[in-house]
Structure 1
């Protein structure tokens, strides 16, 4: 059951049992793409994960250490908002959630543009806001926030991990190119990948970098330029419908036959579109999620529950949403009292520099004065099981958080330019 056709704003109570009239309620704003080209691969899986996780939390059905009812004993009510429509609209929707719908905290935002626009508004309104997916490093490297957190690594992790994978797995490649969306996410992703690649393999020859607009849909001109330049490797942080459209158009023209395609968000395609994808694509999941997640009790529960409810295995947007919800629960419960929900100021203090167990990894709120998470990441090569045809990932290399993230109080661009000193990649 997907959120197809859902209204832009709705309130969902996910009850476990009959509630007493005086039972505490935590009203949680959840923002995700429910319409548009990013909805199917990203927004809907994330929204489905939120509904599933909240239902399980309200019933106390998540494995330890999250088996306590709700959040700090309170039942959770969701106010679900569609992220489609642009930054200005999102700022308006955010204010409406707080002022008209009375949400206590917000978890959301896939687009880097949305996060950059929402962060100062959250700070102004003093509302605890957790970004679950957006990737630009600029949020906490260009400003300091008290009420804003991000429980996923930023895009430097993806770019550095991709560069390391190419050099480690394919040391004989000689040239590279890129195709990335022409906005904050695409620019930041390319900058960090190319910077890391120049450190790791200075003689790698640059061919071309294509920058189509966000949600372009058609990539014939860019594919022609890539075919002419014939790079050995191609980096792409395209996501959602853009990634799917590009891959179908590029593989139809044979781009993958002579060029290694490394797709930092590629894991979102591997189940739903498996029959249409060629073997050999290098895929990441923006961290240790999906097929790259550790086989923990929570992960086993999460995968089974998601597949039972929605008919597909969860991909990384679902993991990132679940990870954010568990982070919020961990922060609230670090300062909970017997009599009432802790206030926002106490929860914010507890969230800063928090380290907690997520679905398939450990999250450390180590950067951005304790507001920006670090995790490890992994890449592997997509293929199909010879006997069953099921999608699989081979040749996986995992990198620790300390290998692919800058140290605290260090600007990402500067750290990469300095040669990534102190990176721990054993």
Structure 2
């Protein structure tokens, strides 16, 4: 071989090494700049925004900031999602199901998001889930209460990271029974759409099991967002039931309490509210004392004393200048922490690369993870629907602290108030809660 050839060979070898090193630097730099683009959908306007949608947005803001800075506690202390910086694209849920279907398509097809976390309204969830499945795109439903999502359909790419409404109503009636609340008769006021109708059905079925002699009196289904309840309050007053049950939420719930309290219905009847924690700060001393309330999980003032809640509750409160987190904030947080766990599980099995929707769905199925509100387990809906522990308590306005507090809290294990995987919720209640483990 000639000297020129040998020299050229050495030059080529050195060049190849330099080129490879440069390529590695470019690859590393590109990876460092790579993001996980995340669509987030919640109510930013309308009557559901102030007490529910905006706290969910603030929960997302706090969690994403903490994750992107690598400041969340273990096991969530890796930056972003597996080193990928989270880039949120936030959409207003207000406007109805048809609008939300188009917005979801835009998120996937125009914004090119890697996943979507969203939806509070049960009607919106029922509308968007089939669209994500059609597009083969990953979707987490972080809230919405109707059990129908996974009881009436099966999905590969759609998950709900919070328990559905059955646990709210089973836990409420179990709490009433454990406190010997008199309930010879009960009246109900629920919104006339999927959430209100399903909540009503579950509550009535649970009452039939645990209060078999109780009679249903007034059964009211005002429209979502009606805001004026004079007629319904009069009907509740005439019924004179021992118990008044409601699954109203957001601005509807605030309006009902503000309009009903001066007319004495909360003094004459035990009020039982399945999703009321999120209005306590706004109502203050206008909230009736002794109301039995749920938070759709162990959230806010009903949250457990665990390491993640000792980080989340004060951190969010400081982040929001003294406003503490409520159920929507917690549900958004647990969705994002679950997504982080799934992304990192998928990346570990995929050479550290950003997962495809298929890989992400496989990682999320049957996943369990710890949250500020306790353990989340994807047990129902073929591993796509969560179950979780539940807490119920009573309200009292604390004048010294100038806030509503929740007392006499009882906690219910997930397996006590959620149906097993092989039964529909309503069938499980009507059968007498077979397999329930409440100890």
The interval holding the TM-score normalised by the smaller chain is over 0.9
| 1:339 CA drift (Å) | 4.0
Aligned match of 1:327: 338
Distance 2:37 2:114 in 1: 5
Structure 1 SS opposite 2:52: helix
Structure 1 SS opposite 2:281: coil
Aligned match of 1:304: 314
Deviation per CA, 1:37-71, whole angstroms, max 9, x where unpaired?
A: 00001000000110111111000011111011100
| 1:364 CA drift (Å) | 0.5
Select between 287-296 and 367-376 the one with higher mean Cα deviation. Answer: 287-296
Select between 264-273 and 179-188 the one with higher mean Cα deviation. Answer: 264-273
- Write the mapping of 1:104-183 to structure 2, written as runs, cut at 5 A: 104-183=114-193
Aligned match of 2:380: 367
| 1:272 CA drift (Å) | 2.7
Aligned match of 1:274: 284
1:42 and 2:55 are equivalent in the alignment: no
Alignment partner of 1:405 out of 409, 415, 418: 418
Aligned match of 2:5: none
Moved over 4 A (4+): 19-22
| 1:388 CA drift (Å) | 2.9
Instruction: Decide whether the 8 Å contact of 2:186 with 2:215 is kept in 1.
Output: yes
Aligned match of 2:70: 60
| Bigger radius of gyration among the two | 2
- Write the mapping of 1:211-290 to structure 2, written as runs, cut at 5 A: 211-290=221-300
Instruction: Decide whether the 8 Å contact of 1:176 with 1:205 is kept in 2.
Output: yes
1:78 and 2:91 are equivalent in the alignment: no
Select between 293-302 and 190-199 the one with higher mean Cα deviation. Answer: 293-302
| 1:360 CA drift (Å) | 2.4
Aligned match of 1:391: 404
Instruction: Decide whether the 8 Å contact of 1:49 with 1:306 is kept in 2.
Output: yes
| 1:386 CA drift (Å) | 5.4
- Give the TM-score normalised by the residue count of structure 1: 0.94
Select between 250-259 and 273-282 the one with higher mean Cα deviation. Answer: 273-282
Aligned match of 2:14: none
Distance 1:255 1:56 in 2: 44
Distance 2:341 2:68 in 1: 15
Distance 2:396 2:294 in 1: 13
- Write the mapping of 1:171-210 to structure 2, written as runs, cut at 5 A: 171-210=181-220
- Give the TM-score normalised by the residue count of structure 2: 0.91
Gaps of 5+ in 1: 1-18
Distance 1:339 1:350, change over 3 A: closer
Deviation per CA, 1:67-113, whole angstroms, max 9, x where unpaired?
A: 11100110000000000000000000000111111100000000000
Aligned match of 1:420: 433
Deviation per CA, 1:137-168, whole angstroms, max 9, x where unpaired?
A: 00000000000000110011111111111111
Instruction: Decide whether the 8 Å contact of 2:419 with 2:428 is kept in 1.
Output: yes
- The RMSD of aligned alpha carbons is 1.3
1:24 and 2:37 are equivalent in the alignment: no
Gaps of 5+ in 2: 1-27
| 1:198 CA drift (Å) | 0.4
Instruction: Decide whether the 8 Å contact of 2:101 with 2:128 is kept in 1.
Output: yes
Instruction: Decide whether the 8 Å contact of 2:287 with 2:397 is kept in 1.
Output: no
Deviation per CA, 1:308-357, whole angstroms, max 9, x where unpaired?
A: 12120001100000000001001111121454212221211111111111
Higher helix share: 2
Aligned match of 1:344: 357
Instruction: Decide whether the 8 Å contact of 1:368 with 1:409 is kept in 2.
Output: no
Distance 1:138 1:238 in 2: 19
| 1:20 CA drift (Å) | 5.1
| 1:21 CA drift (Å) | 5.1
1:315 and 2:310 are equivalent in the alignment: no
| 1:26 CA drift (Å) | 0.3
Structure 2 SS opposite 1:322: helix
Distance 1:103 1:343 in 2: 12
Instruction: Decide whether the 8 Å contact of 2:297 with 2:373 is kept in 1.
Output: no
Select between 179-188 and 382-391 the one with higher mean Cα deviation. Answer: 382-391
